[in-house]
Chains A and B, each alone.
Chain A
Amino acid sequence: MSSDQLQGYKKTLNSPYTGIKGWIDSRLPLIRMMEAEYLKFPVPKSLNYFWSFGGIAMFCLIGLILTGIFLGFHYKPSAEDAFDSVERIMRDVSFGWLIRYLHANLVSFFFIATFIHIFRALYFGSYKAPRELVYIFGLTMFMLMMATAFLGYTLPWGQMSYWGATVITNLFSAIPVVGDAILQLLLGDFTVGDSAVNRFYVLHWLLAFAIVGLVVFHVITLHMTGSNNPTGSEPQSWDETVSFHPYVTIKDLNAALFFFIIMAFILFYYPNILGHSDNYIKANPMITPAHIVPEWYFLPFYAILRAIPDKLGGVIAMFSSILALGLLPWLDTSKVRSCLFRPIWRYCVLLFAVNFLVLMYVGGKPAEDIYVLISRIGTAYWFLFIFVLAPLVGFLETPRQPLTITNYLQSKKA
């Protein structure tokens, strides 16, 4: 290696700044990185408000971590004290009710934002090359989110916490041979109890920060390729982009404020509407609630679980429903990204979204004949969509020629 090459390799000392800023930046290139990735970063100027939900989800995550820290100061993770300590937070800790209701409702809104965010990725083809890894890190985060939310829901140790934990952790026992051993390791006991609360509390924290770590990977991979946009066409010139700041920051701020106004309405006037009244009864292993219902955001997956009349089969279907989505970048055979230009696939994706809501509805209903039937049809469509329609529609359909960003914006104006 010649000395010139070596000089180029050690480029970190050549900071574009001077003074203290330059001193820090030449040793820790964070300032120039932030400037490149968050101030000057070029973003297609055709983004619509669907593109704000990633940022909104991140705000929710930050809010959850902050409120979680304050809850953690007062919460006691034991079967004996957990429920009482939550009530103490609600009654005696100053603004404890606010922190706790924020934490409980932010989760729901985190899921709302994430569902919209994933729908955006499907509809506008953001999962396709070269953004496969962005998408896969996203789905991984989504699964960790579900695990974290489940663990968090058990912590208040109400009736739904306890019985939800009992039902869901027992799914692990469906795994052949090692199932029971995994279950015992997870619970630290043969049943859900004192040691389970303790472990769930630790895992709830651990996974929350694992999500933060994945956010970093999600964003790094995104910034390698840049954002997709409604046309699915890559920007052809600087003219088709705007800088991240102030254009996207102010737009996302608008969307976020609108979103959090709706959240504030629920938070301050109906703080328990997304929860279950049984969770205000202290956990009692001797009494089973009439209905054991998971949180609303698990209902579509709960419907898939119950659609299969076999425990192991149901568990496999539930987990593979999300894992299979990760194959979409390779199963979708179309060259065109955005549904705006795909006449058939567009309706497949819209139906997938409707199907998701239908599964959510039947997941909250008793497992009676009609609801089981609907959940089976819904589950069938879920996998049909991924494994059959994605490859097939790509071949059968004649997509329109995607517009460039400039032409798209002109056609929208006209």
Chain B
Amino acid sequence: MRKALLAFFLLFSFNSYGAGAKIDIPKYDWSWKGFFGTYDRASAQRGLKVYREVCAGCHSMNYLAYRNLGDLGFSEDHIKAIAAEHLILDGPDDEGEMFERDGIPSDQFANPYPNVKAARAANNGAYPPDLSLIVKARPKGADYVKALLLGYVDPPEDMKVPKGQHYNKYMAGNLIAMTSPLSDGLVDYDDGTESSMDQMTTDVTTFLAWAAEPSLEDRKRMGLKVILFLIVLFVLAYISKQQIWRDIKH
């Protein structure tokens, strides 16, 4: 019965949510937009570095395996080296003991916390969400992710920011548990690109967008072929239809 009341309440409870101020998320240019868009590999590779050095301290990416990085243009040896930098809990072995070993390409990305409770305990009760699907799991996707990372500004004077919370102009309700994770020059890029805030947020968002939808390039390539094929077929069917119906007196 309580559950029923809750559900009933939910049906009519949109007032409180609809009333909040509308937050406009800026639009950015992304390499994978449009009919022929592809993920900018160099940017995504830099984004992986941002993820591994900054985000991975708290955020898991459970649906990604190290082998998937081949899609981003990393060589097999490079992927082996990346995987080997992480300790993976394996087992039980023949003695029934769990043991740690170096990661291999077929392992899923190592999780920063053993479980959700450990993650909450380390983060003032907030649970850092898994990032594998974050770009698809938010309205406005990539634009939102980049905007959020750039959205740490000083709060309005009349606003009290509670302890353990931070002001972010793009977060729903403007309060977020995560501190601003990036600052100019934080990551030392291997290819010599200057690691400005704008560059790092673009790179990490490109990486996360790829992680959320690795099939995007295959999909667009196939889509073009399928649509062209259907159009040709449609033209042929149309000509056939005219031919077949020609003798029908109207």
Contacts and interface: CB of A to CB of B under 8 A. Distances in A.
Contacts of B18: 365-366, 368
Contact of A258 (B132, B137, B234, B245): B234
B135 to A, nearest CB: 9
Contact of B250 (A98, A251, A272, A412): A412
Nearest to B62: A84
B15 A246 contact: no
B223 A269 contact: yes
B241 A250 contact: yes
Contacts of B44: none
A91 B245 contact: no
Interface in B95-141: 129, 132-133, 136-139, 141
A268 B223 contact: yes
B238 interface: yes
Contact of B137 (A253, A254, A277): A277
The majority secondary structure among interface residues of chain B is helix
B17 A366 contact: yes
Nearest to A192: B3
Interface residues of A, number: 56
Interface in B197-250: 212, 214-215, 218-220, 222-224, 226-227, 230-231, 233-234, 237-238, 240-241, 244-245, 248, 250
B172 interface: yes
Given A91-B63, A247-B245, A254-B241, A170 B230 contact: no
B153 to A, nearest CB: 23
A410 B249 CA distance: 9
Interface in A131-175: 163, 166-167, 170-171, 173-174
Given A261-B234, A409-B250, A413-B250, 16 more contacts: A247-B244, A251-B245, A253-B241, A257-B237, A267-B223, A268-B220, A269-B223, A277-B138, A280-B133, A280-B212, A291-B14, A306-B11, A314-B11, A365-B18, A366-B18, A367-B15
Interface of A: 45, 84, 87, 90-91, 97-98, 101, 163, 166-167, 170-171, 173-174, 180, 190-191, 242, 246-247, 250-251, 253-254, 257-258, 260-261, 264-265, 267-269, 271-272, 277-278, 280-281, 288, 290-292, 305-306, 311, 314, 365-368, 409-410, 412-413
